[in-house]
Structure 1
């Protein structure tokens, strides 16, 4: 565990330097250490920052650990650098990816059960009430759009309200990919205009699973390839959500999104460099 924590810190520090991140030289706890603490909390302690802070301090990994309030303030100021760090990480992973195939899908992250919606203080908007078709139930929270390699390593993600459909999520991702890339997605991403635009402007082929009444039906062979290829994304989602606690504790919506981001980044580092 300690070896993995050291690896997370080393990668985080290198990535911050690579994206040109600047910090105040007077700080006792570096920005890389603050972000590492959040990633360690996501990786080992269900997102509990206080337990992660205590562990890092007690084991001498970060003896200058901040108080809970100061740590939270520093971490919230580093939310955007954390996202920039992931963007830089994604670019590296894309550049070394030997495959031209990627997987696209979304998964829900509930803020609370439906019965507790009236008590929610993070956000009050019907836009966050979504539907999980596989479970045939509604949820109140966000939907994470995620693009991953066929090896199961996330390279792009975006947050949308729970009610947002996947076509809208397709427009939220930068899809900064090499030419002649193929993206496999399920039928929820059906948008013929988006498919044509991607292929004409970015030479990216969106391989969407076709519905029975599709105007662009697939041959049986292509339909089988799409079905078997895209199903691996569910394994990626399982790996990310397995780190989640029963309920993600946050006081603000930014804090909630920050914790979800930390879970995704921690999973990516583990899948790409540590496993």
Structure 2
């Protein structure tokens, strides 16, 4: 978090502070990190279970954030993500990007409970079908317009006991004016978390492979959650 995910600077700092008896070379550290890749999501799940004992959340919010891997002009020559499926569109800004979408499920304590990455061209609603959504019964679930689906809302309400709070389009059959303000206020927490992550990201996440890019993004998410847990336990 402090060094923007740069392995060379982190290893140099660890060597100067003598944090470990043996500091591997950057290439060896990178190979070890890639070997741990299958354990990152299980570790994230375990941290979420520990957080539930520290904070009793009553509301959750889901949102999607674009993660460009290169400038638009370089998209046809992109090597890490060469396929057109990574070509996405940001409606609120009216611009295209080439990269991934980061899906975050955040509670009212700013803890990221679930995370996923999808190609940029996939619709936001796909994340609802991919994420497990392990939410407690009766929890409020705040969603943006891109997640509006009457079928899925009914399934969440009837099967899981979740209360969907969706920001709806004005032409929606279920549009009611007064709940819109509550939905907008409730989902501000996920926008705050997204801004915190983007602030910690370097200007360009430097990696050579797709797996390396995903590892760095998940590492930032884990560092964010660990920071919250430390603050909660010390506070």
Q: Is the 8 A contact 1:56 1:63 kept in 2?
A: no
Measure the CA separation in 2 of the matches of 1:159 and 1:94: 23
Greater RCO (CA < 8 Å, at least 6 residues apart): 2
2:189 maps to 1:232: yes
Say if 1:206 and 1:95 are closer, same or farther in 2 by CA, change over 3 A. Answer: farther
**Stretches of structure 1 lacking an aligned partner (at least 5 in a row):** 1-42
Equivalences, count: 232
Matches within 5 A, 1:253-264: 253-264=210-221
Say if 1:192 and 1:95 are closer, same or farther in 2 by CA, change over 3 A. Answer: farther
Q: Is the 8 A contact 1:185 1:207 kept in 2?
A: yes
**Which residue matches 2:229?**
272
Q: What is the alpha-carbon root mean square deviation over aligned residues?
A: 1.4
Q: Is the 8 A contact 2:8 2:26 kept in 1?
A: yes
Say if 1:209 and 1:55 are closer, same or farther in 2 by CA, change over 3 A. Answer: same
Which moved further from structure 2: 45-54 or 63-72?
63-72
Matches within 5 A, 1:193-212: 193-212=151-170
Measure the CA separation in 2 of the matches of 1:153 and 1:257: 19
**Which residue matches 1:9?**
none
Q: Is the 8 A contact 2:86 2:99 kept in 1?
A: yes
2:96 maps to 1:138: yes
**Which residue matches 1:155?**
113
- One of 107, 128, 134 as aligned partner of 1:170: 128
Measure the CA separation in 1 of the matches of 2:27 and 2:185: 47
CA displacement at 1:154 relative to structure 2: 1.0
Shift >4 Å, 4+ stretches: none
Measure the CA separation in 2 of the matches of 1:123 and 1:97: 38
TM-score, normalization: structure 1?
Answer: 0.81
